Amino acid sequence: MQSASFYANKRYTTKSFAAGQRISEEKIEELKQLLRLSPSSTNSQPWHFVLAGSESGKAQIAEATTDFAFNTQKILNASHVLVLCTKTSMDEAHLQKVLAQEEQDGRFQNEEAKQGQHNGRSFFVNMHRVELKDAQHWMEKQVYLSLGTLLLGASLLDIDACPIEGFNATKLNQVLNLPAQGFSASVIVALGQRSEEDFNAKLPKSRLPISEIFTEI
């Protein structure tokens, strides 16, 4: 069995995908489960994921890269493309939906435990919404936690990936009609198999040494 660090070292940002190479449906289902099981602060899950596996779907997403042309072919040549979206409002309806799912999944021994969970989550939501006034930033942090889960999981599944922030979010929101659904695009991830021409695959991974980035106390 390979170590976790093996897959972290194996993972890299793919710059060029082999067009026509498809990820199996079994692996796509695995990625869906990884995203579903991603951690989030107070289990708030303030996200939605748009998955494009068709040529037309990828083309829609690629429309948002006209000002970032270096990312267009990554999206078009990838097997699948994910848009990780953040809620635009952490409203009571969403909190109740999460609470109901937790109850359905058997997380509460009694009504007191259920109410305690709701009160605790609401406390943090209101703190970010009313006092700190950084609710959108806080929610987007949770989406980026799911991005980390996705990238490491893709490496474990031998799927190449490229996270993409170079896109016109306003354009992509319009194309996917996200605001009407209460979401905003945060980051795109292209998934597939790297091409032989991908220069980044041939370069050694570079990170600062452990002795410099850790302080042990």
Indicate which residue of 15, 27, 58, 87 is catalytic: 15
Indicate which residue of 27, 58, 74, 87 is catalytic: 74
Tokens found for residue 206 = 């570079």
CA atoms of 79 and 67, how far apart (whole Å): 22
- Is 63 one of the annotated active-site residues of the chain? no
Tokens found for residue 47 = 């996200």
- Is 141 one of the annotated active-site residues of the chain? no
CA atoms of 155 and 79, how far apart (whole Å): 15
Indicate which residue of 29, 92, 133, 165 is catalytic: 165
* Residues pairing with 83 in the sheet: 50, 188
CA atoms of 73 and 84, how far apart (whole Å): 19
- Is 133 one of the annotated active-site residues of the chain? no
3-class DSSP state of 47: strand
Active site positions, annotated? 15, 74, 165
